[in-house]
Amino acid sequence: CVVVELGSDDPVVSMDGTGKVVWAKNNEIQTTTVRGLAGGDDDDALPDGERLPVVPRDLGACELYPQNIKHNCNGRFVSVCGDGEYIIYTAQALRNKAFGQAIDFVWSATGTGDYAIRESVSRVKFFKNFKESRAIKPATSSAEGLFGGHLLGVKGGDSAVLFYDWDSGEFIRKIDVSPKEVYWSDAGNLVLIACEDSAYVLSYNAAATASAVAMGQVSPEDGVDGSFDLLYEISDTITSGEWVGDCFIYCNNAGRL
């Protein structure tokens, strides 16, 4: 017996920091807002477990079949990826801002139009304000994926993640773990690297990194010494999570919060 899995059960959806949600229904893109829907006071509040009364609004049809949707850092734009291509739309009116071919696409955590794409296993391109700024060949046998955030993360084929500075493209540090996902705190001083059956919380010294990059004290092999410090390890399988200040809230593979 041969079983072939087609597609994914994960919803193609993204929510920005203000509660505006954008999702794909086949090629159609829809949006709504969930802010305030739960009710403000005890009399109007919905009971726990109740379905939110969302009213979807059609934004239009996408030119490709969406497999991934993601808001940028301020929620003004959304990236739609699928079939080896990406399109950047305005989030409110679905107007085309940029497009291209890419295996992977990730946003920067700070710049409105800053993002990166993985063009192949040996080539990653940086974009600043929607214009290509540089291309790099990651220092790994093959680039297997990208992670957005305060630094660009490149998943290496040698069970490691390599971090690069968004502005300079400089190599910052290699962490010898095989990540499934990378979660940055809003302040950018903490990062959690989720692996198959464990996770690692590290502190990131942005000031020391910026100083080393500005003074040209970046080692091609080791990056910036002191840029990351391991705080602790979590012996659990994280399936999803979110930073709230300096606290990381997550669900594990048993469905527990």
What is the structure's pLDDT at 7? 65
Comparing CA positions, the residue from 34, 27, 36, 87 lying closest to residue 59 is: 27
Whether pLDDT at 123 is above 90: yes
Whether pLDDT at 27 is above 80: yes
What does the pLDDT look like over 126-180, one tens digit per residue? 999 999 999 999 888 889 999 999 999 999 988 899 999 999 999 999 999 999 9
Whether pLDDT at 249 is above 80: yes
Tokens of 38: 């739960």
What is the structure's pLDDT at 53? 83
What is the structure's pLDDT at 188? 94
The stretch 73-95 carries a mean pLDDT of 94
* Portion of the chain with pLDDT greater than 70, in percent: 96
For 221-225, the CB contacts below 8 A with 24+ separation are 221/139, 222/173, 222/174, 223/163, 223/170, 223/171, 223/172, 223/173, 223/174, 224/170, 224/172, 224/173
Least confident stretch, 8-22, 35-49, 51-65, 233-247 = 35-49
- Up-side HSE of residue 46: CA atoms within 13 Å toward CB? 12
What is the structure's pLDDT at 72? 95
What is the structure's pLDDT at 43? 62
Whether pLDDT at 207 is above 90: yes
Whether pLDDT at 246 is above 90: yes
Question: Per DSSP, what are the bridge partners of residue 102?
Answer: none
Whether pLDDT at 232 is above 70: yes
Confidence of residue 22 (pLDDT cuts 50, 70, 90): very high
The stretch 18-30 carries a mean pLDDT of 92
Whether pLDDT at 251 is above 90: yes
